[in-house]
Structures are given as structure tokens and as C-alpha cells.
């Protein structure tokens, strides 16, 4: 369906070649900013809740890592989209915000896995994955620094790989509670990628991608709170 020929056409610009940047409409700029800005405060509150529910230093470290990664994702995304909307003429400044936005995704993925890797009894690869996932985040960030926006498919595959590889370790959990929520959240991220690549094809595609990210993050937060931090929950820790 060609949305440009419908009444929704005014809400998006035409598709551009892979070598050029898509320019969102004013409507899309507002939606891109709002759909992540709305979650900054809730993510800060959520991270604080986990921290105050912590029973030892391992729980506190995991809560701090996860809360920082979650809040950092929404803050950097909001700052970048605001810069792309209001100061796009300052190309180098906007590019720096864009690079920070891309780096934040890598660290958010690492932070999302940290509570499970630190607080659950897992298989023999656990001790390696705890630090390996942060090495992967650093490698991804270095890639952004040197090859930002040059090979978009490789960058997308890097995010997918980083999200999928640690999941193989998570599946070795002795205690299986939380696996269903992790899988459902992962499905939301995966389906959202379709909209991430649909600028110029679907109105507000990027904002819809933001909503899928928010829902996926919310489901994963619930699983962490419910199965790793809720008072009275029986935790089998790997420390």
C-alpha cells in the first residue's frame, strides 16, 4: 500500500536511496522526540525502585547498571531526535548526538542482560558472558566511531547478534521463571525492527519503532522486578 497516495501522505516524506538520509516531517519529528522522552522519568523511577529493593551489593550493582542503561537509552534518543529536528543545520553536532544514540543501544542491551547474568544460577558460560557482553558493547561503540552510517546493514546485524547471543546463555538458567517474559520482550524488539527500516514507507515508522522498544523494555523490566527483586522471591544467585 502506498501511503503517499492516501490522506496519511502528509505525515511522511518520500523514501530515499540508501546513500541519503531520510528527512522526517515536522509531525514525525515531534513523534520521534515524544515517544522516548515520555519514558525518561519512568525509567529513572524504575531503576531507583530496583536499587532500593536490593538485598546486597550484587543486586545494587545490577540495578545500577540496568537503570543507567535504560535511562541512558531514552535520554540519548530524545536528545538526538531533538537535535535532528531543531539544529539539523549543525551537521557535525547532530552527527555526534546520532553516534551517542547508536552507542547507547549497545550498552542498553548489555545492561538489560546484566541482572540475569549476575543474579541467576546459569550454565558454565555465565562467568564469561558477564564480561564478554560489555566487550561486545565496547566493540560496537568503536564501530560506530569509525564507520558511523557507512554500512547500515552490518550495524543492524551487530545489534541483532548482541541481542541474540547472550540469550543462548540465559536459556541455561536452572530457574526458568522469567524466560517467557524475556521471549515476549524480544519479539517486540524484533517486530519493531521492521518499522525501524520503514521510514518513507509507513507514516511515523520511527516513532512506532520507539513504541515497540518501550513496550519490550517494559516487559523486560517487569520480569527483572518480578523474578529478581520482588521481596520474597526465591533467588538462585550465581555469585
Within a domain: residue 154?
yes
CB 142 within 8 A of CB 192: no
For residue 232, the model assigns a pLDDT of 66
Within a domain: residue 10?
no
State the chain's mean pLDDT as an integer. Answer: 86
d(C-alpha 227, C-alpha 77), whole Å: 28
Within a domain: residue 70?
yes
210 is annotated as contributing to ligand binding: yes
36 is annotated as contributing to ligand binding: no
Average pLDDT estimate for 28-33: 93
CB 114 within 8 A of CB 66: yes
Percent of the chain with pLDDT over 70: 88
Within a domain: residue 38?
yes
Q: How many CA atoms does the CB half-sphere of 39 hold within 13 Å? A: 27
CB 200 within 8 A of CB 13: yes
Average pLDDT estimate for 25-45: 94
pLDDT above 50 (res 238): no
Residue length of the chain? 239
Within a domain: residue 201?
yes
Structural domain span for residue 111: 24-228
pLDDT above 60 (res 226): yes
Within a domain: residue 3?
no
Quote the pTM value: 0.88
> What is the tens place of the pLDDT at every residue in 146-198?
887 777 778 888 888 888 888 877 777 777 788 899 999 999 998 998 998 88
128 is annotated as contributing to ligand binding: no
CB 120 within 8 A of CB 228: yes
Q: How many domains does the chain have?
A: 1
Within a domain: residue 18?
no
CATH code for the domain of 223: 1.20.1070
Amino acid at each position: 500500500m502506498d501511503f503517499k497516495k492516501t490522506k496519511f501522505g502528509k505525515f511522511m516524506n518520500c523514501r530515499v536511496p540508501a546513500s541519503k538520509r531520510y528527512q522526517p516531517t515536522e509531525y514525525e519529528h515531534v513523534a520521534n522526540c515524544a515517544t522516548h522522552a515520555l519514558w525518561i522519568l519512568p525509567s529513572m523511577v524504575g531503576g531507583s525502585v530496583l536499587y532500593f529493593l536490593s538485598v546486597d551489593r550484587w543486586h545494587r550493582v545490577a540495578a545500577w547498571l540496568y537503570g543507567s542503561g535504560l535511562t541512558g537509552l531514552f535520554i540519548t534518543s530524545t536528545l538526538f531526535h531533538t537535535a535532528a529536528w531543531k539544529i539539523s543545520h549543525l551537521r557535525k553536532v547532530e552527527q555526534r548526538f546520532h553516534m551517542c544514540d547508536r552507542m547507547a543501544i549497545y550498552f542498553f542491551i548489555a545492561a538489560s542482560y546484566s541482572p540475569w547474568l549476575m543474579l541467576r544460577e546459569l550454565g558454565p558460560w555465565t562467568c564469561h558472558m558477564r564480561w564478554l557482553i560489555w566487550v561486545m558493547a565496547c566493540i560496537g561503540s568503536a564501530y560506530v566511531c569509525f564507520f558511523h552510517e557507512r554500512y547500515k546493514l552490518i550495524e543492524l546485524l551487530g545489534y541483532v547478534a548482541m541481542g541474540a547471543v547472550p540469550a543462548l546463555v540465559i536459556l541455561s538458567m536452572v530457574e526458568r521463571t522469567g524466560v517467557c517474559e524475556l521471549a515476549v520482550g524480544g519479539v517486540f524488539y524484533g517486530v519493531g525492527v521492521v518499522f525501524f527500516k520503514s521510514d518513507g514507507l509507513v507514516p511515523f515508522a520511527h516513532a512506532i519503532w520507539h513504541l515497540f522498544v518501550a513496550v519490550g523494555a517494559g516487559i523486560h523490566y517487569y520480569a527483572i522486578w518480578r523474578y529478581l527483586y520482588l521481596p520474597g522471591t526465591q533467588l538462585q544467585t550465581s555469585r
